[in-house]
A and B are shown apart, each in its own frame.
Chain A
Amino acid sequence: MRRIANAARLIAAAFVVVSAALPMKAGAAGVYENAAAEPAFLLSPRRPTFSADLDFSVNDPIEAAIYRIGATFPVTPPRSIPASAISPCVPVRAHGPANDARSRFSPPS
């Protein structure tokens, strides 16, 4: 009877030691990071947006689904280009002696 009790104590002690020595999987406690989301705020969007994402993560034996729903707005409204910044438009004839490459580079007759 004492042998059985000692064996049981030994097994229990070994179980505790092994449990303490084995590192727990980080998936049980860690924070999931979506690396692709890192540059999300790098550039201000030009237009308001609505986005939705679904991640399926595996950290054997743990599986999880993560959803994200978000919206972005431009910090400043799109700027319109002032008329003065636009160079004057010179009408160009599509055809004619001045714009015809053949007439410009053809040898003089």
Chain B
Amino acid sequence: VTGTTKLEQFPYSSKTLDVQASVAYVDTLGDITAYAIGGYTWVNRNDVERPVDTRHTDNARGSAGVTVGGGDVRAEGGTLYEYTVDHAKRWMWYGAVSVIATDALVVRAGMQFETGEPAQRVSDWAANAGFTVRF
């Protein structure tokens, strides 16, 4: 379930079909995880009235990242690049830290920045915090 205080800004339902291929490496101890993903997203609700930079259209994307850490603390970092059929580009970077507070509870916090063309950014930066309960 996903929601927002600015529905206009985040039309999640316009992501219709996403196909991706991924490759990952996990070391024996689980201290390092590296991944790379390539994918293509087909969208609906393509509003042609909007400027090219801000139009949500079919796009190809590539991403890569790594998680490093042993014990109860892990650090994550990665990047995501999108290229739309209208030749708009988006490029974002993220970093996060996860802490295994207890066997059942994992808490995390992170930051994300977009470094692509300013006019094509959806979010200049974003802060994230969350938790996971493992049963």
Contact = CB atoms under 8 A, between A and B. Distances in A.
A58 B35 contact: no
In the complex, which range does the number of interface residues on chain B fall in?
Answer: 35 or more
A17 to B, nearest CB: 15
Interface in B4-19: 4-6, 8-12, 14-15
Q: Is the interface of B mostly helix, strand, loop or mixed?
A: strand
A5 B85 CA distance: 44
Contact of B37 (A25, A30, A39, A58): A39
A105 B129 CA distance: 57
Given A43-B24, A51-B132, A54-B128, A33 B51 contact: no
Contact of B134 (A24, A43, A49, A64): A49
A35 B93 contact: yes
Interface stretch (A65-73, A78-86, A94-102): A65-73
B125 A33 contact: no
Nearest to B52: A23
Given A26-B54, A49-B135, A60-B124, A36 B26 contact: no
Interface of A: 23-36, 38-39, 42-43, 47-60, 62-70
Interface of B: 1-6, 8-12, 14-15, 22, 24, 26, 33, 35, 37, 43, 47, 50-51, 53-56, 63, 65, 76, 78-80, 82, 90, 92-94, 96, 110, 112, 119-135
